[in-house]
Amino acid sequence: MKIFREYKSLLPYLSQYRNRYILGLICLVIVDAAQIIIPQFIRIAIDIISAGDFQWRQIIVLCLCMIGTAAFISVGRFFWRYFIHGSSRRIEAQLREKLFDHLQKMSWDFYQKNKIGDLMARSINDLHAVRMSIGMGLVAFFDFIFMSTAILIIIFIQDSSSAIYSVIPLPIITILILVFGSMVVKKFRAAHEAYSKISDNAQETFAGINVIKSFVKEWWFVKKFASSNDEYRKVNMELVRLFGFFFPFVGFLSGLTILIMLAIGGVRVINGDMTPGSLVAMFRYLNMLIWPLMGAGFMVNMIQRGAVALSRINEILNTEPSIKNEQIVDSSEQIAANSQSFCSEQLIIPVLELSNLEFCYEVDKPSLEGINLKIMRGQWLGIMGRTGSGKSTLVKTFMRMVDPPAETVFVFGHDVRSWKLENLRSLFAVSPQDSYLFSDSIANNIRFGKNETDCESDMEKTITLASLNKDLGIFQDGKNTLVGERGLTLSGGQKQRTAIARAVIMDSEFLILDDSFSAVDNETEFKILENLRKERKGRTTIIVSHRVSTLKYSDNILVLDKGKILEYGKPGELIKTEGYYSKMAAFQSMVSEKLYG
């Protein structure tokens, strides 16, 4: 069947836990067999009592046998649950780890197309459905096969004349199960997608709660969430209606089997063709037959839902990251060799070189075009340009956060596409535009990129360098203050300086400050830049900013416009021209004079 194709991806996991599953299924079969024995004890007891001539010792022995069998069933149930459900939960955990690991490898374009709420829904709700299908779904399947077959064989052996009429409704139940299974697949997918949508709405709302409150738009988001919630309710109500019809109808057909047995078996008991104990045992077996038949419905439900959920998970796992390791050089040896050559006095090879770099987010719409640039070790490069001119995109190509064409970006003389991603990115420390902070202490955010457990001396030095020491004195817990989700408890300037400290403490070959001073006052900015000039002698620093005051320390300034190089040169040279840099310097100086006299 088509739905089972999705489960092929689980074969390695099922193989890993096959011994546990086998033991669990053996325990399940033994428990089912023990359950089937109990009606035979009841049959014998009733036949002995109905005969009128019996000893209590016989009844007590039968009762003790039933109690012992029930105790055995309880122990067996514990073990099949332990082995089968335990294995399904282990597989769920492994799948979740694999999915999480895969999501971290995905490139920027993947997250442009997939919303976070949907990814969270797949990581939680869909994996829960998969676990149920390989846990309880498997149990329902084996119960249906084993118990149905065993019970039918027993009732036909015990009294075929009554059994042949009693099972007449069973083919109808089988047909109903098949029809039901084909109907629920699309509805399950719609339900999972509706859940993803409602999860995404909630995530977006809570992430932007400050903006929502400042614009007094709570009512609009409540309305938007209510719409998604109503859609989720509707698709689930369609499933409820299906199951609301299916299970009662199966129960009704199962009840018909008992009614038929009562009519036919009762007559046979009166005629002496059947003992009272046999009739009671037949009732018991038919009652026991209801669960496997109902369980078949649960089985279809869980297997169908699991297949839909697994298809959504496999859709992500089968998506390859657009940026990945290609032809990798021996990075560790190359770095060591290049480090010596770049530190020599006869340094003539640039540490970072761009050769006719072009990059497009969309086809035929270049974000960068014809960029040629050489940066020597220890230089400071300033990048300026209008909003959308390609500044952030340019620095992202250095680390392959976006993927430049081959032979266009070189680090230490090697194409960035030939580097192992981990080694390439470890050369860069970045303070990005958004200054993203984790919901943790300030100290842990600063030491985020450090592998060493003990970096307290570096910590204090970096805090001072980023001019955070005075701010920490305001907080009751100092550097151990929790910043809240996305740095909610810090001001814009404090968040930016924490992000700068996080980058600086890495002591990397390249430091990139991408518009990292926009919320920092001029005096504090001056102190930080002075500290960086002293601290980072001999290493390369790249600063992206709109402020001329921020870029004045740079050895060279690169001005971009519409993805192309508009100007390039030393600050002193560019200020004498009538270009963009000179005009921005004059404009910002005039504004400063008007504001501060």
Full strand arrangement of the beta sheet holding 365-375: 365-375, 352-362, 409-411, 414-415
2-317: CATH homologous superfamily? ABC transporter type 1, transmembrane domain (1.20.1560.10)
Q: Where are the alpha helices (DSSP H) in 388-477?
A: 391-398, 421-426, 442-446, 456-465, 469-474
Beta strand residue intervals within 303-398, DSSP E: 352-362, 365-375, 380-385
3 state SS of 381: strand
Range(s) of the chain covered by CATH 1.20.1560.10: 2-317
Q: What DSSP string describes 150-181?
A: HHHHHHHHHHHHHHHHHTTTHHHHHHHHHHHH
pLDDT in tens, the chain (597 residues): 556 777 888 999 999 999 999 999 999 999 999 999 988 888 888 888 887 777 788 888 888 999 999 999 999 999 999 999 999 999 999 999 999 999 988 888 888 888 877 888 888 888 988 998 899 888 888 888 888 888 888 888 888 888 888 878 777 777 777 677 667 767 777 887 788 788 878 877 877 777 787 778 888 888 888 988 898 898 888 888 887 887 787 778 777 888 888 888 888 888 888 888 888 888 888 888 777 776 676 677 788 888 888 988 998 999 888 888 875 554 444 554 454 455 544 456 789 999 999 998 887 788 899 999 999 999 999 999 998 899 989 999 999 999 899 999 999 989 999 998 889 988 999 998 888 888 888 888 888 887 665 567 788 889 889 988 888 888 888 888 888 776 777 888 888 999 999 999 988 999 999 988 888 888 888 899 999 998 888 889 999 998 888 898 899 999 999 999 999 999 988 988 888 999 888 888 887 666 555
Give the CB-side neighbour count of residue 6, counting CA atoms within 13 A.
Answer: 20
Q: Which residue in this structure is represented by tokens 């390369």?
A: 540
- How far apart are alpha carbons 93 and 128 in whole angstroms? 10
CATH 3.40.50.300 fits 334-427+544-597, yes or no: yes
Q: What is the pTM of this model?
A: 0.76
Q: Which residue in this structure is represented by tokens 């797949």?
A: 122
Range(s) of the chain covered by CATH 3.40.50.300: 334-427+544-597
- How far apart are alpha carbons 126 and 139 in whole angstroms? 20
Under a CB-based contact definition with an 8 Å cutoff, are residues 332 and 419 in contact? no
